[in-house]
Amino acid sequence: MVAKIKIVVVDDNYDANIALTRQLQRYGFDVVGRAYDGLAGLAVIKTEHPDVAILDIAMPALDGFGLAQRVRSEMESPPRLVALTGFGRELKSDAEDAGFDSYLSKPADGQALKRVLESYQSQ
């Protein structure tokens, strides 16, 4: 049996955060933490040491780009970072520059997200 991927979800939209968490749990992933702004997200990621963090881009306190950069610079073994944003594809190169491993637009295709996460599980 393959171990469940541990995931942290960081999105300032409460309903989107909860919906994504439930979707991930239905797929069999282990959501070990949630946060509703970038600074709180940084704290949860550092505490929980997830395999993957799914981050919104536009958030208060610290946006997803800044959060990704801080996770990469402040953690010895940072998680995989997935951008999940309502901005569409226009910010993909900015997300890559910030250190994201994957970039998906909202509303996320559940199967596409599942495939991305499962690809990390096999690595």
Domains for the chain: give ranges and CATH numbers.
Answer: 6-121 (3.40.50.2300)
- Mean per-residue pLDDT for 106-113? 84
Average pLDDT, the chain: 90
Q: Given CA atoms 40, 32, 71, 113 in this order, what sign does their dihedral have?
A: negative
Beta-bridge partner residues of 8: 33, 53
Instruction: Name the pTM for this structure.
Output: 0.92
Hey, what are 112's tokens?
């596409």
Query: Does position 61 have pLDDT exceeding 90, yes or no?
Result: no
Q: Where are the beta strands (DSSP E) in 11-106?
A: 30-35, 52-55, 80-85, 102-105
